[in-house]
Structure 1
Amino acid sequence: MGKPIPKVKQHPLWQRLQWIGDPVGYMEEAVADHPDLFAAEIIGFGNNLVFVNHPQAIQQLLTSDRRQFAASGKENGLLKPLLGEYSITMLDGDRHKKRRKLLLPPFHRERMPAYGQLICDLTTKIFDQFTLDQAFTARKTTQEISLQVILESVYGLHSGERAQKLKGLLSKLSDVFSSPLTSAFLFFPWLQKDLGPWSPWGNLLRQQKAINSTIYQELAERRAHPDEKRQDILSLLMSARDEEEQPLSDIELRDELMTLMFAGHETTATAMAWALYWIHSLPEVKHKLLTELESLGADPEPMEIMKLPYLNAVCQETLRIYPVGMLTFPRVATEKVDLLGYDIQPGQILVGCIYLAHQREDIYPDAKQFRPERFLEKQFSPYEFITFGGGARRCIGEALAQFELRLAIATILSRYDLALAENNEEKPQRRGVTLAPANEVRMIFKGTNY
């Protein structure tokens, strides 16, 4: 007979409000009483969601797919209004397995060099527009870089009216849930009412309609004028076939494009902004990074940049200290399970808590300190450092995200002189289902290094 799962004691409504308004505070209060796992009532009154942050338990949770725990798409319903019901995120079982097999090839690590120079060039193009002593917010600038990378590498749109229209629409849509207040619309379905174009949800629906129309126009044009030479991810997905030789339908393609936009563009933009904040907050980190970059000489190849150990450590520490995604995708217990001596009942929903796993003092001493050296001193297991999730739901775009983060940061640091606009500590704040810098990292452009 195992122990019952410890529960957070606050009233469910208060838990839900705190989870929306101050997720970091909520998690840190809960873990102070229950160090390894706890049951939270944040997804609906009476429904307990078990947060797991012990590496052994996370490994059991993420690697026991279909035996003890099943990855259930229906538990991701919170994201359905954004991604659509045919997104890989919403699929279960064999449907999910087949879709994942179909989507993986375009994101294989071997394809990444094709995107390397594109990322460096786009970063340079955007930063070259700044003037001396111009103030800017890093989060908005990195969003522009990441969105342009998505448009060119994923959508295959480089220029033209449709590319500009889609860029504007996607940028606006990304900002819909930029604060805890607007994020509440995702957590309270009764708020999701179309009260006209000036209402928050009505505005969202109209933006989505315009995006859908633009995407379907692009799909129709490509089907009418196929070009086998195109190597963007959308073209590869359009030509992909499953075991029954069936292609993805237009609505399936649309939902996957929206998934890649939110999962790839939003998250990577935030990670880049956090990296710029930490690098410019800590002079010794910036000095070490610049010294390493200078060792490559002028105009190094992207693949040479990717091999730099301290750059990699800075990016890993950025993803550790304030992981953009706080939780793994949910798993549902398929049978009675012993997890660290606790009884898990069939039907119980569990998540790996990425944020709390990355804050464990027994794994990351002085966890609140930004110290890239920890990633040079130790190799962490996939259940201690779990930024991209794990198991059957591990992030498909991991290789592209890592590539973009490292190359963009290397390009910015080696070519431009920047400074933080103020010395205030940047705090994490909810942005939709992610953690982003509350003040978007305000900076000043001090000139070029070339």
Structure 2
Amino acid sequence: MSHLPYYITLGLIIACTVIGLRLRFSNSSAPTNVAPWATSAHPLLGHLPAYSPDPVKFLTEQKALVGDVFRVNFVVMKITVLIGAKWNRWLLAEVDEEDVSFYKMLSVLSCGLLDNPLGNASAMAHSRKAMRIVTSEFSRKALDRYFTDWAGQPRISLFDSSSTLLFNANLAVFFGPRFVQDHGPEMISLLQRMQKALLSPWPRILPLWASPSGRTLKRVKERIKQLVDDEVEKRMEDVDHWSGANDYLSGLVMSNEAEGYQEHYYTEHFVTYIMAAHVNSAGTFAWTLLHLLRNPELMRAFEAEIKVNPPLSDIYPIKDMPFSEACLRETGRLYNNLITFRYATRDIRTSSGVVIPKGWVATSPLAVQMDPELFEEPGRWNPRRWLPSCTVKRDLYATRFRNYEFVQFGGGKHVCSGEKLTHALLRATLWPTLVDHFRLELVEEGIVDGEGVDGVGLAPNHAESLGTAFGIREVYVRVTRRDVSLSSVGGA
């Protein structure tokens, strides 16, 4: 008689005993007061069905239901979400990098392609030095060429055209106009393909070689690395010639020349900066124009400022905040990052006693900046709220920034080093140069009355965004050159 059934039964008993003991042990050692799960979970899709239609509404409702720290299940990612200004401060300024890591997050979200590109003191110090010497190489002449091309078309796609413009602008700042002329179209195509592939979940589930999007990421990274390495080598071979170049790469190369900067960081460094600059500035540029075009009285205020403060004059006026900067603040408030990620390297017990389990952790700047207790009529696009004449306190921005209630450019240890670059490109260069020399007219195709923020006619597409969302569909603008620029005497 075979003893096989006996051995199978004995094996099952032993296995069940071991599993039971392990579960009991793990449960006894598990932390108490772990952040609760959000409600409204689908049995298979988790919180995605409830989250996707209106993410800000979902997050604010869950805060009211289960508290300001809760977990969400996005199937391929389980995330602990923290909602509130104090949590913005905690994540950006108070918690240590070894506990809740920016660099680990960057590496994982990029599927390992951006492996600690800024994660050492030398890289951060040099990037700040290089950023300080940068002024926009995106000159009047280059801008006129781009905008004249827009005017030569029956209409332009607002978000796609803004995306290409901002990619070109950022590449010019980082690598100089010659690089843009030689490699701009290819580099933009590569970066756009990388952005699209990073939106796919498959590279985070499977090895890169096992999915089309993963293979695209590998090929794109290799080609970008080749272009960047060739440019770095060219500059290092002729230091005297390139030392006078007023672009970010030359500043970085020259500052690192004597210190043996790790060359393999250059590609990761530039991809990180350019992608970060683009995913937020391109959307901000487009949404601001759309809101101005839908609010003619505010467009007239924008034009009035250009008449007395021409483009490329003073980037940072000493006195009161100009209207153009107020537009930047307001667009950033309404279209800021929906989610700011970090990665908890261990279970973290917060000062309030709630435990954030090891893994993904995030705040929502957008949810905080739409809080009616902080901003009156939070769903309105109203740049004048930032102007001294419209506020009780003249330091509204400083107060909101200091209290982590407005974190368009981060804060604390993780304040954005590209804030000045964004101001130089958007507020002092691109917007005013376009409006100074050209008229813009919104083509009604794609606009739906009442839809979107403050009824602008278009809803943001948070589901396909790595930063500031674009629209859920394209809208179009007609551009025509003015006979006389606004900044000229007698401009109209």
Shorter-chain-normalised TM-score: which range?
0.7 to 0.9
Q: TM-score if structure 1 supplies the norm length?
A: 0.83
Aligned-pair distance for 1:406? 0.6
1:32 equivalent in alignment to 2:38: no
Aligned-pair distance for 1:222? 1.8
Name the counterpart of 1:404: 425
| Structure 1 counterpart of 2:416, from 364, 377, 395 | 395
| Structure 2 counterpart of 1:172, from 175, 178, 189 | 189
Q: Distance in 1 between matches of 2:304 and 2:259?
A: 52
Name the counterpart of 1:124: 144
Name the counterpart of 2:367: 356
Name the counterpart of 1:100: 124
CA deviation profile, 1:100-119 (whole Å, cap 9, x unmatched): 222111223xx45x32x735
User: Greater relative contact order: 1 or 2 (C-alpha under 8 angstroms, separation 6 or more)?
Assistant: 1
User: 1:428 aligns to what SS in structure 2?
Assistant: coil
Name the counterpart of 1:303: 315
Task: Give, as a single letter, the amino acid of the residue that structure 2 aligns with 1:309.
Answer: P
CA deviation profile, 1:220-268 (whole Å, cap 9, x unmatched): 22222223222321112112349xx633222111111111221113321
Name the counterpart of 2:104: 74
Aligned-pair distance for 1:188? 4.1
Q: TM-score if structure 2 supplies the norm length?
A: 0.76
| Structure 2 counterpart of 1:269, from 282, 293, 300 | 282
8 Å CA contact 2:35–2:356 kept in 1: the answer is: no
Aligned-pair distance for 1:177? 6.3
| Residues 193-342 of structure 1: pairs in structure 2 closer than 5 A | 193=209, 199-227=212-240, 228-241=243-256, 246-296=259-309, 301-303=313-315, 309-323=322-336, 325-330=337-342, 332=344, 336-339=348-351, 341=352
Give the gaps of 5 or more residues in structure 2.
1-30, 449-456, 486-492
Name the counterpart of 1:436: 470
Task: Give, as a single letter, the amino acid of the residue that structure 1 aligns with 2:299.
Answer: K
Task: Give, as a single letter, the amino acid of the residue that structure 2 aligns with 1:236.
Answer: G
| Structure 1 counterpart of 2:459, from 427, 441, 450 | 427
User: 1:176 aligns to what SS in structure 2?
Assistant: helix
8 Å CA contact 1:333–1:344 kept in 2: the answer is: no
1:183 equivalent in alignment to 2:199: yes
Name the counterpart of 1:135: 155
Change (3 A) 1:27 1:255: same
8 Å CA contact 1:240–1:248 kept in 2: the answer is: no
Change (3 A) 1:189 1:288: same
Aligned-pair distance for 1:345? 4.5
1:447 equivalent in alignment to 2:468: no
Aligned-pair distance for 1:414? 1.9
Aligned-pair distance for 1:368? 1.4
Aligned-pair distance for 1:207? 3.0
CA deviation profile, 1:382-431 (whole Å, cap 9, x unmatched): 41111122232222212101221212111112221111111331211144
Change (3 A) 1:12 1:104: farther
| Residues 84-99 of structure 1: pairs in structure 2 closer than 5 A | 84-88=114-118, 91=119, 95=120, 97-99=121-123
Aligned-pair distance for 1:164? 4.1
8 Å CA contact 2:170–2:274 kept in 1: the answer is: yes
Q: Distance in 1 between matches of 2:339 and 2:200?
A: 17
User: 1:172 aligns to what SS in structure 2?
Assistant: helix
Q: Distance in 2 between matches of 1:368 and 1:287?
A: 22
1:148 equivalent in alignment to 2:182: no
Aligned-pair distance for 1:272? 0.7
Spell out structure 1 runs of 4+ moving beyond 6 A.
304-307
8 Å CA contact 1:53–1:353 kept in 2: the answer is: yes
Q: Distance in 1 between matches of 2:127 and 2:192?
A: 27
Q: Distance in 1 between matches of 2:94 and 2:271?
A: 29
State the identity %: 17
User: 1:222 aligns to what SS in structure 2?
Assistant: helix
* Higher mean displacement: 255-264 or 439-448: 439-448
Name the counterpart of 1:417: 439
User: 2:54 aligns to what SS in structure 1?
Assistant: helix
Task: Give, as a single letter, the amino acid of the residue that structure 2 aligns with 1:316.
Answer: R
Aligned Cα root-mean-square deviation (Å)? 3.2
User: 2:200 aligns to what SS in structure 1?
Assistant: helix
User: 1:385 aligns to what SS in structure 2?
Assistant: coil
Change (3 A) 1:86 1:318: same
Give the gaps of 5 or more residues in structure 1.
none
8 Å CA contact 2:329–2:383 kept in 1: the answer is: yes
Change (3 A) 1:444 1:392: same
Task: Give, as a single letter, the amino acid of the residue that structure 1 aligns with 2:82.
Answer: V
Q: Distance in 1 between matches of 2:343 and 2:304?
A: 44
Q: Distance in 2 between matches of 1:30 and 1:151?
A: 36
Task: Give, as a single letter, the amino acid of the residue that structure 2 aligns with 1:174.
Answer: L
Q: Distance in 1 between matches of 2:311 and 2:126?
A: 36
8 Å CA contact 2:42–2:49 kept in 1: the answer is: no
| Structure 2 counterpart of 1:374, from 378, 381, 385 | 385
